[in-house]
Amino acid sequence: MKDLSFPTPMSTIGRRTLLCTALAALAAGASLPAAAQNTVRIGFHAPLTGFAAADGKSARLGAELAVEQVNAKGGIGGKPIELVVYDDGGKPEEGVQVANRLITQDKVVAVVSGSYSGPTRAAAPTFVRAKMPYISSYAIHPDITRAGDYAFRTSFTGEVQGRAGAKLVGELLGKKKVVVLTLNNDFGQALAIGFKEAAPKFGVTIAKEYTFAMGDRQFGPLVASVKADQPDAIYASGYYFNAGPLVAQLRAAGVNVPVIGQEGYDGQKFIEIAGAAAEGVIITTSLDRDSPTAEARDFIKAFESSKGQPVDMVAASTHTAMWVLANAMNKAGTADAARLRDAIAATELTTSTGRISFNKLREVKKAVQNQVVKGGRWTRHSVIDDPVLLAPPEQ
């Protein structure tokens, strides 16, 4: 079977993605039409409604673009991909229901998660028991791949990204006294674990650690405490919808030291919410908007010209996961799940988020991209490519 390579942006113009959308089908009990024999059905779920709807939209657009591009190159063995899309609302219980529908009713051959850790972690064991290949595009919880040998991840675990954050703060920025602000969920806690593990290696002392909740938008007492701590830098986890207000309130209170975030900030929404306070914020993420590779440049151009919004990490990550899956399908076919699983595991592919390969736990091995807000847009700050520091878990 042939390898798929990334097409130029022009190859997607005028092409239609075959979509079978089931946004509210779970609650309504609606049924999807029977699978067409002349298509290859791939499942996809993302938080298209609820607190993370902006990320869900980006995830879906990234997946759709990949499907359009693959279909423009002949699809899978000459058959176009049909994307079966579900809204999980960012809820773990919805992730399980989506998994059961995709397996028993929709008869897909593989699934990509464009969602957060909650739904992805909950769904993974169901897909593994069904021996259905499942790729998490950006959810960070370590238990996702530990569900079993049909579960893969094409982005970093939280601990890996946290270790990269420590190197960024201590070595690249030369900051030594740090306050850690931790979002009290799987995402924030995993990042904090990695950061605190690696901090001593780079001469970083953690003066204080504070936690906050997913729904927090007002940070007055926390900001006052951070200001009194007088750190050299702040390492703060979060998503655009809480990190934006947090950064804005820190700057308004006169806390002007570097703020280092992570991929949860990655997107135009954070800049819109934080406003002028976003300027100078640095994050660790998967997407290098100034990458010299043709794969990244072509993806960014195609996405922004065809989807009508600025590119972000979520879109790039789901685009990457879909290309990894499509490439493996064109090598192994789709009739035998074990062969497809083995083809994914053997992946060596340059994508919109870098060169992808997996370790024995089916965790990705790739560099961390550091982005900084300059002039109201994300741009390259630096790259961390230390295979020892960034080594994902092996078991």
Kindly report, residue by residue over 42-68, the tens digit of the pLDDT.
999 999 999 999 999 999 999 999 999
- Burial label for 345, CB within 10 Å (0-12, 13-18, 19+), is middle
Distance CA 169, CA 177 (A): 10
CA distance 340 to 335: 8
Q: Is 203 left (phi over 0), alpha (psi -120 to 50) or beta?
A: left
Cβ neighbours for 316, distance < 8 A, ≥ 6 positions apart: 62, 286, 287, 296, 299, 303, 352, 353
In contact, 198 and 162? CB cutoff 8 Å:
yes
CA distances from 47 to 44, 262, 267, 276, 311 (A): 11, 19, 16, 28, 18
- The separation between CA 46 and the C-alpha centre of its own chain, rounded to angstroms, equals 11
Q: Output the pLDDT for position 4.
A: 53
pLDDT at position 37, please? 67
N- to C-terminal Cα separation, the chain: 31
Could you tell me if 197 and 391 are in contact, meaning their C-beta atoms sit under 8 angstroms apart? no
Q: Whole-model pTM above 0.75?
A: yes
Kindly give the parts of the chain with pLDDT less than 50: 1-3, 5-36
Fold assignment, 9-156+292-364: Rossmann fold (3.40.50)
Which contacts (CB < 8 Å, 24+ apart) does range 100-105 have? 100/126, 101/22, 101/25, 101/26, 102/43, 102/45, 102/132, 103/127, 103/130, 103/132, 105/31, 105/32
The residue written with tokens 């901090």 in the block is 199
* pLDDT recorded at residue 54: 94
Q: Which two tokens stand for residue 347?
A: 């992946």
Domain 158-285+370-384 -> CATH class: alpha beta
Q: State residue 18's pLDDT score.
A: 45
What is the distance, to the nearest Å, from the Cα of residue 273 to the centroid of all Cα atoms in its chain?
Answer: 20
What are residue 113's DSSP bridge partners? 45, 136
pLDDT of the residue at 334: 86
Task: Retrieve residue 139's tokens.
Answer: 């959810």
Give the C-alpha separation, 272 to 33, whole Å: 40
Q: Where, residue-wise, is CATH 3.40.50.2300 in the chain?
A: 9-156+292-364, 158-285+370-384
φ, ψ (nearest 5 deg) of residue 133: -55, 135
